[in-house]
Amino acid sequence: MGAAKYTKGCTGWLIVLVVAALVVTAVVVGIRKKSHHSGTGPVPGPPGEVTQKYADALSVALQFLQVQKAGKLVNNKILWRGDSALNDGSDAGLDLSKGMYDAGDHMKFGFPMAFTATVLSWSILEYGDQMSAVKQLDSAQDSLKWITDFLINAHPSDNVLFIQVGDPDIDHKCWQRPEEMKEKRPLLQINNKKPGTEVAAETAAAMAAASLVFKSINSSYSDLLLQHAKKLFTFANDHKISYTVSFPDLQKYYNSTGYKDELLWAASWLYHATRDQQYLSYITVENGESYADWGRPTWFSWDDKRSGTQVLLSRLNIFGTKESTNAENKGLQMYQKTAEAIMCGLLPDSPTATSSRTDGGLIWIDKWNALQHPVAASFLAVLYSDYMMTSRTPSFSCNGVTFSSSDLRSFAMSQADYILGNNPMEMSYLVGYGDKYPQQVHHRGASIPVNANTGCEGFQWLKSTEPNPNVAVGALVGGPFKNDSYIDNRNNSMQSEPTTYNSAVLVGLLSGLVTTSSVVPSFT
């Protein structure tokens, strides 16, 4: 072999040239694979052809946000809903009548409500064109503003934020329509003496994200939201105490597992809204390594924002930031690497795929509110897929196996299709969509006839075996057990109770699937 390598003549030189050409080609291909703009085809522009089933499902899903509205209803199209909670906040001289009830009860919990607003804002910012293409953008913006109006009023001074309206113990002892409520609805606030870092930070995130949504629609309202967001972030960052430490009784309801993720989440949204370098430094150099758990995939939810932050900040690394330092860029690269690790855990053919799935293919993590994790994971997957497609990033690697943006989109579609009826129960888990869906949703207002005057004692309607007299259109129920089964029983709140925050994430997922379209490199 050694002698042949140095043989003189044309044949030898030809072999050398061919080998050299192959080496050059391999290098070029390798360089292209590392580039964010290596391209696998043209980047789509405006929304393309609509996929009707997702458009129909989006229209249905958005209606649940209307069902959950409190206060003096405007242009109300939910015939069995009326005005409610009109005196909320009056004990403190505030108007807290708006906002949304979090689930099948009549509580206003500020933590999940703010998360609902943040995710709804994110969905509009990324997929507003798609929503507009199927005439759902106005509905999404209306629902968002109904929450942000409440959040503005709930923040009457820099270091005071009202985080709850109603007493959950009293509320849960009643089964009644919200229009009939006569019980006391006490207020709960965080302040300098009793802080609540994660609630303040999540509310800051919601207001910062919403400020971007309303920037071109109502600039003064956008500015007001951003002012509140900045003050709330400062309050959250200066008083690092969990709200369930300040108020231990709330551990029974929305118990927080920590506030570091909300601080990063809020700072990320504030950077997108302001382009102020202090926020970028906060999330990359100052706190990224200690707060973000780089390299460790997590599940996105009302309680844990880490994976959402990883994906949100990936767009900065993918599309570039003009004024970032080398240290900040390194931090952004770590966020993107973690985002890719999250994606690798979702794809069923990945070497690092999670095994937590039903036989029907649904991501399944918890028997309570089982659908929250697959919906949220799919939302992140379709976002990351569109970041790749817009930037012409051809693939990413999962322990040596490469996957494309279309693989991520296919995964997200598989989860959405399961929810919409392609499952062993052959039932849609989105109420009002398809021919078969849950009839006994755990929802007070939906379960009681409009003309029934029950007062607090309407439990006969909780125990009834009849379908709900009012259809809670758009409600995403808790979902199936690990064996893909579902028990349609109103008292089975583990499976049959819908939540507003799950609906917001579902709106984002469906909006991303309605049609293909490039995402904007920057929200500003």
Quick one: pLDDT at residue 27? 36
Q: Which two tokens stand for residue 4?
A: 């042949």
pLDDT level of residue 524 (50, 70, 90 thresholds): confident
| CA nearest neighbour of 513 among 136, 144, 115 | 136
Quick one: pLDDT at residue 1? 35
Catalytic-labelled residue, pool 228, 239, 373, 442: 442
pLDDT value at 15 more than 70: no
Mean pLDDT of 31-52: 58
pLDDT level of residue 517 (50, 70, 90 thresholds): confident
Asked if 160 contacts 440 with a C-beta cutoff of 8 angstroms, the reply is no
Asked if 116 contacts 61 with a C-beta cutoff of 8 angstroms, the reply is no
Which three-class secondary structure string do you get for 374-394?
HHHHHHHHHHHHHHHHHHCCC
pLDDT digits (tens, 9 = 90+) for 66-98: 999 999 999 999 999 999 999 999 999 999 999
pLDDT level of residue 30 (50, 70, 90 thresholds): very low
pLDDT digits (tens, 9 = 90+) for 104-126: 999 999 999 999 999 999 999 99
Report the distance separating Cα 513 and Cα 412, nearest Å.
Answer: 8
pLDDT digits (tens, 9 = 90+) for 337-394: 999 999 999 999 999 999 999 999 999 999 999 999 999 999 999 999 999 999 999 9
Mean pLDDT of 504-511: 98
pLDDT digits (tens, 9 = 90+) for 144-190: 999 999 999 999 999 999 999 999 999 999 999 999 999 999 999 99
Which residues are within 8 A (CB) of 38 and not within 5 positions of it... i.e. 6 or more apart?
A: 32, 392, 393, 394
What is the domain partition of the chain in residue ranges? 46-514
Which three-class secondary structure string do you get for 300-355?
CCCCCCHHHHHHHHHHHHHHCCCCCCHHHHHHHHHHHHHHHHHHHHHCCCCCCCCC
| CA nearest neighbour of 310 among 374, 261, 242 | 261
Quick one: pLDDT at residue 236? 98
Q: How far is it between the farthest Cα atoms of the chain?
A: 102
In the chain, what percentage of residues exceed pLDDT 70? Answer: 92
Quick one: pLDDT at residue 224? 98
Q: What angle do CA 265, 267, 270 make, to 5 degrees?
A: 110
Quick one: pLDDT at residue 45? 72
pLDDT value at 22 more than 50: no
Quick one: pLDDT at residue 151? 98
Mean pLDDT of 452-475: 96
Q: Is 272 a catalytic residue?
A: no
| CA nearest neighbour of 151 among 206, 230, 107 | 206
| CA nearest neighbour of 70 among 112, 102, 111, 110 | 102
Q: Which two tokens stand for residue 416?
A: 């959405």
Residue 196 gets which letter from DSSP? -
CATH among 1.50.10.10, 3.40.50.300, 3.30.70.20, 1.10.3260.10 for 46-514? 1.50.10.10
Task: Tell me how far CA of residue 181 lies from CA of 69, 151, 345, 490, in angstroms.
Answer: 14, 22, 45, 21
pLDDT value at 453 more than 60: yes
| Whole-structure pTM value | 0.91
pLDDT level of residue 43 (50, 70, 90 thresholds): low
- The alpha carbon of residue 95 and the mean position of all alpha carbons in its chain are separated, in whole angstroms, by 27
Report the distance separating Cα 383 and Cα 520, nearest Å.
Answer: 12
Count H helices, E strands: the chain?
20, 5
Chain mean pLDDT for the chain: 92
Give the amino acid at 23. Answer: V
pLDDT digits (tens, 9 = 90+) for 200-209: 999 999 999 9
